[in-house]
């Protein structure tokens, strides 16, 4: 299995919580340097953490994937800070069929949801799923929190013939961490500076960066 915590290979709707004010946050790096940029600033993945899991079996040993469990190690109120998005808006873009995880729920679970690839709807995909050496399965996971600081991991339950087991999916031996941005100032980057995103009136949706600069 390969696990990519790369926001589904796009910067659309990718956020980090930083403690620095915008005047002390350097310009955005190239996409392949995003993780190092955020880590150097003490940034934490915010609002959504999107994973792409690619599962493939050994030759002659097909595997059935039965379910994906979510385990929360710790949950607290999200720390205050500033939210920075890595994209000023991407339009419709790619929103693949995925497993959505509400990290604010009392007992979070991986829920199968449909998606979009451009203008085409992708049907929801659910367990059980079978993989082989020549037929891999890609599982997209979108874990979301509005106002919590959540440490969590996944367990993928599988079987192959008479064998069965559970595969732990985490951040290199540590839980994933995702924090909410509710109430925090939000910023997006133009070609020269970080620009604040106006807050939506109470009871309406928070505007995106695309709506702030007219690009969406």
Q: Is the pLDDT of residue 182 over 90?
A: yes
- 3-state helix, strand and coil shares in percent for the chain, rounded to the nearest 5: 10, 45, 45
Q: Is the pLDDT of residue 211 over 60?
A: no
Here the tokens at position 68 are: 């994906």
Residue 151 bridge partners (DSSP): 74, 177
pLDDT at 53: 94
pLDDT at 212: 46
Q: Is the pLDDT of residue 58 over 70?
A: yes
Here the tokens at position 26 are: 């350097």
The set of residues, in sequence order, having a beta carbon less than 8 Å from that of 96 and lying 6+ positions away, is 8, 115, 117, 122, 140
- Average pLDDT of span 3-9: 78
CB 209 within 8 A of CB 88: yes
- Beta strand 2-4 pairing with 94-95: unpaired
Mean pLDDT of the chain: 87
pLDDT at 192: 87
Q: Where are the domains of the chain?
A: 2-213
CB 13 within 8 A of CB 142: no
**pLDDT digit string, tens, across residues 89-144:** 565 455 677 899 999 999 999 999 998 766 678 889 899 999 999 999 989 999 99
- Beta strand 137-144 pairing with 98-102: parallel
Rounded percentage of the chain residues whose pLDDT exceeds 70: 85
Outline where DSSP puts E strands in the chain.
2-4, 15-18, 44-46, 48-55, 63-77, 82-85, 94-95, 98-102, 110-113, 115-117, 120-122, 129-131, 137-144, 148-160, 163-169, 176-179, 186-189, 194-196
The CA distance from 136 to 142, in Å, is 20
Q: Quick count: other Cβ atoms within 10 Å of Cβ 14?
A: 22
**pLDDT digit string, tens, across residues 59-87:** 999 999 999 999 999 999 999 999 999 87
């Amino acid at each position: 299995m390969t696990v990519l915590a790369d926001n589904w290979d796009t910067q659309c709707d990718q956020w980090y919580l930083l403690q620095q004010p915008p005047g002390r946050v350097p310009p955005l790096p190239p996409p392949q340097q995003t993780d190092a940029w955020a880590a150097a600033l003490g940034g934490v993945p915010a609002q959504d953490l999107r994973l792409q899991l690619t599962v493939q079996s050994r030759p002659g040993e097909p595997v059935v994937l039965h379910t994906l469990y979510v385990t929360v190690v710790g949950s607290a109120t999200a720390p205050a800070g500033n939210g920075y998005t890595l994209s000023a808006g991407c339009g419709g873009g790619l929103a693949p069929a995925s497993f959505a995880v509400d990290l604010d729920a009392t007992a979070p679970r991986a829920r199968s949801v449909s998606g979009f690839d451009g203008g085409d709807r992708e049907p929801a995909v659910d367990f059980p799923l079978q993989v082989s050496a020549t037929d891999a399965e890609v599982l997209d996971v979108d874990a979301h929190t509005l106002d919590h600081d959540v440490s969590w991991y996944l367990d993928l339950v599988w079987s192959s013939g008479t064998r069965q087991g559970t595969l732990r999916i985490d951040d290199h031996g540590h839980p994933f961490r995702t924090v909410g941005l509710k109430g925090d100032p939000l910023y997006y980057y133009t070609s020269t500076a970080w620009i604040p995103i106006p807050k939506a009136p109470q009871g309406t949706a928070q505007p995106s960066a695309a709506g702030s600069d007219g690009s969406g």
